[in-house]
Structure 1
């Protein structure tokens, strides 16, 4: 009998948060120990924001529903459902949802997201 060449994720790691954001990591450091890539399903509530950061990973974001604001090196960009963006590592960015509805999106980080690599500002 051969070993399976695939993994189905039915039990993502729920990242504990204090800001109302829901983070379900399907693959990555917290879920399966993969340091090369992380894939997470996110829901950012209306009014949510986080501090500026300069991550040591590339981050790809695909908006499923709602809108998300990005301040990238001082430029404000707003993405809507169906749009995506790649933000290169070592780029100063702030993520937020200053809008009135939840923003649902997928985030993919290479290498995988980790607190040690995100470099959040105080």
Structure 2
């Protein structure tokens, strides 16, 4: 029995906002409840509603920039930077810039729509 798994076919999450989400490991892709790892590309001028997730979220920026509003503070990350946002923190993710933002997101425990608690616009 192999003690590793190479993900060659990540689950592509259907979206309506132009954002690419490829879940490599997580609840849907590999039935892993403990952690999720996703490759994402947020298009220019993209944003999500505020949310208060029940999981820690780590983000590593590969290219472009991404804006975070954490509680009441605006934070902008650039390529090569990363951040950890602790669970139960109100946050909004966006890319108000003119170029796409490519990044990796890691959630622990795994991302779960039932536990992200997105606010209505």
Task: Give the TM-score of the pair, scaled to structure 1.
Answer: 0.98
Unmatched tracts of structure 2, length 5 or more: none
Is 1:13 aligned to residue 21 of structure 2? Answer: no
Q: Which residue of 1 aligns with 2:71?
A: 73
The equivalent residue for 1:46 is: 44
Out of 59, 62, 67, which is 1:61 matched to? 59
Residues in 1 aligned to 2:28 and 2:12: alpha-carbon distance in whole angstroms: 9
RMSD: 0.3
Unaligned runs of 5+ in 1: none
1: CA distance between counterparts of 2:6 and 2:31?
A: 15
**Alignment partner of 1:4 out of 2, 5, 11:** 2
Give the 3-state SS of the residue equivalent to 1:79 in structure 2: strand
Q: CA deviation at 1:55?
A: 0.2
SS across alignment from 2:110: coil
Structure 1: which 4+ aligned runs deviate by more than 6 Å?
A: none
Within the candidate set 20, 27, 32, 2:25 is matched to 27
Aligned residues, how many?
120
* TM-score normalized with structure 2 length: 0.99
